[in-house]
Amino acid sequence: MVDELASEYRASRLQGDPTELVEVITGEEAITLRVAELTQSMRTHFWVLDQPPYLGPYSTELEETFTRDLLDRGVDIRSVYTPEALEHPGRFELITRLAQHGEQARLLPALPFRLRIMDRRVALVALIGGRHDGIAVVHPSGLLDALLELFDIYWQRAQPIVSTAPEMETLDRPSTEDLLLLGMLQAGYKDQAIARQLGTSARTVTRRIATIMCRLGLNTRFQVGAEAAKRGWI
């Protein structure tokens, strides 16, 4: 009840004072509190352009708990990641796992900035691309409409991280770990980066890729990626 009254009060102030259509928040503590407040109120949509840097230390456990909670509440989650956003060990695997539960995850080589859109009624934008010491909170306005359109443009350009094609039953279907490897290969990861994600060595990754190529009777990594996509593996 208190949250609803606070939202109504804020909405009335925004209507009366156009300068409050955009809040500028600085300082890690203030940003953390405001982001938490907005996050807890989400009900329908959570759309993200995701790239470093992040506010505070990153944790795969916290991200999984947070995302699973939103999915359980029926929130539509769409995320566009950059390769740098998935460099943290274990995060690529986490994203593919969350995609099986309903997160729609896509990948682009680069993004202009980090963006969060909540319920299509508020957006959070980092003010300085390479730093996280200030954010803008954008409320319903022409600027918010433009950010929604911008997100849609990048969403359409991005490639799904996990295939949406029906899985084909084949006797030579790779293991779960090899499917993860193929997904990272398709996303443009180098052997060293794949090794960091899988907790192994680059030499082992190279050997496993060669084994898959041999199993499929193919000569190049490009052919492997194309064949895996054709079979609905990735």
pLDDT single digits (tens) 146-175? 999 999 999 999 888 875 544 444 446 677
At residue 26, the pLDDT reads 86
> Is residue 131 over pLDDT 70?
no
CA distances in angstroms from 115 to 46, 80, 132, listed in the order given: 10, 10, 12
CA distances in angstroms from 229 to 159, 160, 161, 168, 222, listed in the order given: 12, 11, 11, 11, 11
Calpha distance 223→226 (Å, rounded): 5
At residue 45, the pLDDT reads 96
DSSP symbols for 33-73: HHHHHHHHT--SEEEEEE-S--SS---HHHHHHHHHHHHHT
At residue 1, the pLDDT reads 47
Q: By mean pLDDT, which of 17-31, 69-83, 171-185, 196-210 is the weakest?
A: 171-185
Average pLDDT over residues 26-43: 88
What tens digit of pLDDT does each residue of 198-226 get? 778 888 888 888 888 888 778 788 778 77
**Please, what are the domains in the chain?**
2-160 (3.30.870.10), 176-230 (1.10.10.10)
Q: Which residues lie below 8 Å from residue 214, measured CB to CB, with a gap of 6+?
A: none
Rounded percentage of the chain residues whose pLDDT exceeds 90: 29
H helix intervals, the chain: 2-16, 28-40, 60-72, 91-100, 142-157, 176-186, 191-198, 202-216, 221-230
Select, from the ranges 99-108, 160-169, 225-234, the one with the highest average predicted confidence (pLDDT). 99-108
Query: Whose structure tokens read 């030499």?
Result: 203
DSSP for residue 234: -
At residue 171, the pLDDT reads 43
Does the model's pTM come out above 0.75? Answer: no
